[in-house]
Structure 1
Amino acid sequence: MNGTVYKSTGSWYTVKSDEGDFYECRIKGKFRTQGIKSTNPVAVGDHVGFDLETIGDETVGIITEIGERKNYIVRKSVKLSKQTHIIAANLDQVFLLVTLNNPPTFTSFIDRFLVTAEAYEIPVVLLFNKMDIYSEEEKFEVDYLIDLYTKIGYNCIQIEAKQGINVDKVKELMLGNISMFAGHSGVGKSTLVNALEPGLKLKTAEISEQHLQGQHTTTFAEMYDLSFDARIIDTPGIKGFGIVDMEKQEIGNYFPEFFKLKSECKFHNCLHLDEPKCAIKEALETNEIAASRYRSYVQMITGDEDNPYRER
């Protein structure tokens, strides 16, 4: 039988068969020795082959095959620093929810996420949530960030998930697609899913007043079929997002505004750090490239990216 993984809890996988039935499946042991570096050889969104076995009164599935992935979003494993964790696979797009505060989302985090998505050619839409709680000064800062990322080529939408404002714009982009919602805990991912599909009633939680950070309400990534011809993958809140499996020379290629100018650098292998006649450094001087983007790039190149909470 063939199907798609809808939920992963680490050792068990909920798989929806091509016929539309759900089965609880385990993985065949050999997958753990096939040189897959990730902590989870099977991820939500994977297309798998599985056999059914009857154990007592229960029928369970045994995953025997993992289909080739068209893409995936990967990050460093939280507990095993040398390994990776695949958040989801076979995506049409990702919505990254951003909040200026409660909790803060810094540009360094946004940029690392965008670089990973660019590497796997996954379109990202930036959703600036909680617009209703910001001061005029904070709204001005959101406008600045939207202008910055729109000029680079990213679709940016201001939303108020609790009030349902601009949720229709998100819904329109989701039609016919498999979308993933990502962001820190507390940015409003589950609230937005509930606004899109009230019947799901995903658990939400208030922000921790003490630390102004979100509390984890989604424990595992899970895919949902929605009533309007769309599928959504809701993910646990991501605190840090280190990039993985990238050479220093290729990181700049995943900054679209850098990639456009790199051919104008004097040296074809320019890392845009201290080299003479670097087109990226010149564009930085004239504000064609944002200082925050260049700072994020340098953090990635130098490996100074372990702390997700940095100055903007």
Structure 2
Amino acid sequence: MAKRQLNRRQNWRIEKIQEERAARAAKRESRLLEELEGGDLGGEQPGLVIAHFGVQVEIEDSEGQLYRCHLRANLPTLVTGDRVVWRAGNQGHGVIVAQLPRDTELCRPDSRGQLKPVAANVDQIVIVFAPLPHPHANLIDRYLIAAEHAGIHPLLLLNKADLLDADNAPHVESLLTTYRQLGYPVLEVSAHEGDGMTALQAALDNHVSVFVGQSGVGKSSLVNSLLPGVDIRVGALSELTGKGTHTTTTARLFHFPNGGELIDSPGIREFGLVHVSRDDVEAGFIEFRDLLGHCRFRDCKHDREPGCALLQALEEGRIQPQRMASYRHILASLPEDEY
């Protein structure tokens, strides 16, 4: 069945209902916060945001104990991986009183185009894709740009390698070859069969990593394989669309026994880059670095201009056609004032 299209009035009504529900929840939360702060709160102590649940967050204290915490109204949006200062209340609850500065943050625009942080204080972004659902180079490239923009080390991870066959292997192998030639670290694993998981664990140890990628690529299965006993719900691909279904609904942080943390984020089918500039996009295509600034014209658009260093490199095979097409597609999706 095709997805039903909503008209403007229906969308407005849905948004209004959601806003009213959010306002009621915020009012209830305010009353609970007043009750907590009116009672006996413990002293200030450091904490780590493990997960976000609407108007509350789950934090971990320095001894590994978990607490549900309310947020003071003057705090910015908190995300998984944030370091905070909090005060303990009663019955396993507490109050977040401050957010500590972030070393890094991974952001993406929400459905309204507003920039939304996804995870904080990570040093490695693991871009997960699979033979099914069909992997799109443009989505991978968008994550690579976001990683470059945020100063986060990328790792490309092909999961479900056991599903490679005569139909999908040529496309997948072409993708892997392109990124390997560019110098990106690439791993091939199968969470289902267990192949390559030792190498993946070694790449994750002593890092704070975040899993990103389409729904259905097996991120939750990877977490279950890496951390037996966690038992995250795993979803199957839709028989109708061949696309993944959302099973992870909130980003959650897990600890590895040998050191390091992993944040599993909800799957998405698109990753907008309205928060970056044309220069940021070009910086995310690492094969462009030695070529930028060497075009005949300073304002070269790398389209049809004579003397374009990028077009010459494309003709000589130093830039892959797939990557140039992806670059142009991403540029075309930027707001006009950035393009």
Q: TM-score range by the shorter chain?
A: 0.7 to 0.9
2:155 counterpart residue number: 125
- 1:278: Cα distance to partner? 1.5
- 1:59: Cα distance to partner? 4.6
1:93 matches 2:87? no
Which residue, 256, 260, 267 being the options, matches 2:290?
Answer: 260
1:223 matches 2:253? yes
1:125-152, Cα deviation, whole Å (9 max, x unpaired): 1111222122135223222211100111
Asked whether the equivalents of residues 74 and 244 of structure 1 are also in contact (C-alpha less than 8 Å), the reply is no
Which residue, 232, 244, 248 being the options, matches 2:278?
Answer: 248
- Supply the distance in 2 between the matched residues of 1:106 and 1:93 (Cα, whole angstroms): 21
1:278 counterpart residue number: 308
Which residue, 48, 56, 72 being the options, matches 1:12?
Answer: 56
Asked whether the equivalents of residues 131 and 139 of structure 1 are also in contact (C-alpha less than 8 Å), the reply is no
1:48 matches 2:84? yes
1:155 matches 2:185? yes
- 1:256: Cα distance to partner? 0.6
- Structure 2 residue matching 1:261: 3-state secondary structure: coil
- Structure 2 residue matching 1:164: 3-state secondary structure: coil
Return the TM-score normalized by structure 1.
0.88
Answer with 160-169 or 13-22: which moved more.
Answer: 13-22
Amino acid in structure 1 at the alignment position of 2:287: E
Q: How does 1:1-312 map to 2 (within 5 A)?
A: 1-31=45-75, 41-54=77-90, 58-78=91-111, 80-81=112-113, 83-101=114-132, 103-303=133-333
Asked whether the equivalents of residues 273 and 334 of structure 2 are also in contact (C-alpha less than 8 Å), the reply is no
Aligned residues: 291
- 1:97: Cα distance to partner? 1.0
1:13-48, Cα deviation, whole Å (9 max, x unpaired): 11112232221112110125xxxxxxxx11100111
Asked whether the equivalents of residues 274 and 334 of structure 2 are also in contact (C-alpha less than 8 Å), the reply is no
RMSD: 1.8
Amino acid in structure 2 at the alignment position of 1:42: L
Asked whether the equivalents of residues 249 and 269 of structure 1 are also in contact (C-alpha less than 8 Å), the reply is no
- 1:111: Cα distance to partner? 0.6
Asked whether the equivalents of residues 126 and 211 of structure 2 are also in contact (C-alpha less than 8 Å), the reply is yes
Aligned identity (percent) is 31
- 1:107: Cα distance to partner? 0.7
Asked whether the equivalents of residues 184 and 237 of structure 1 are also in contact (C-alpha less than 8 Å), the reply is yes
- 1:304: Cα distance to partner? 6.6
- Supply the distance in 2 between the matched residues of 1:198 and 1:292 (Cα, whole angstroms): 38
- Supply the distance in 1 between the matched residues of 2:270 and 2:70 (Cα, whole angstroms): 29
Answer with 265-274 or 139-148: which moved more.
Answer: 265-274
- Supply the distance in 1 between the matched residues of 2:180 and 2:98 (Cα, whole angstroms): 40
- Structure 2 residue matching 1:26: 3-state secondary structure: strand
- 1:88: Cα distance to partner? 0.6
Answer with 291-300 or 154-163: which moved more.
Answer: 291-300
- Supply the distance in 1 between the matched residues of 2:286 and 2:54 (Cα, whole angstroms): 35
- Structure 2 residue matching 1:85: 3-state secondary structure: strand
Asked whether the equivalents of residues 288 and 310 of structure 2 are also in contact (C-alpha less than 8 Å), the reply is yes
Amino acid in structure 1 at the alignment position of 2:78: V
- Structure 1 residue matching 2:291: 3-state secondary structure: helix
- 1:269: Cα distance to partner? 4.5
- Supply the distance in 1 between the matched residues of 2:169 and 2:315 (Cα, whole angstroms): 26
Greater RCO structure (CA 8 Å; 6+ sep): 1
- Supply the distance in 2 between the matched residues of 1:62 and 1:144 (Cα, whole angstroms): 51
- Structure having the higher Rg: 2
Asked whether the equivalents of residues 249 and 271 of structure 1 are also in contact (C-alpha less than 8 Å), the reply is no
- Structure 2 residue matching 1:302: 3-state secondary structure: helix
Change (3 A) 1:230 1:300: same
- Supply the distance in 2 between the matched residues of 1:116 and 1:230 (Cα, whole angstroms): 22
- Supply the distance in 1 between the matched residues of 2:334 and 2:255 (Cα, whole angstroms): 39
- 1:166: Cα distance to partner? 0.2
Amino acid in structure 2 at the alignment position of 1:92: D
Amino acid in structure 2 at the alignment position of 1:62: V
- 1:254: Cα distance to partner? 1.6
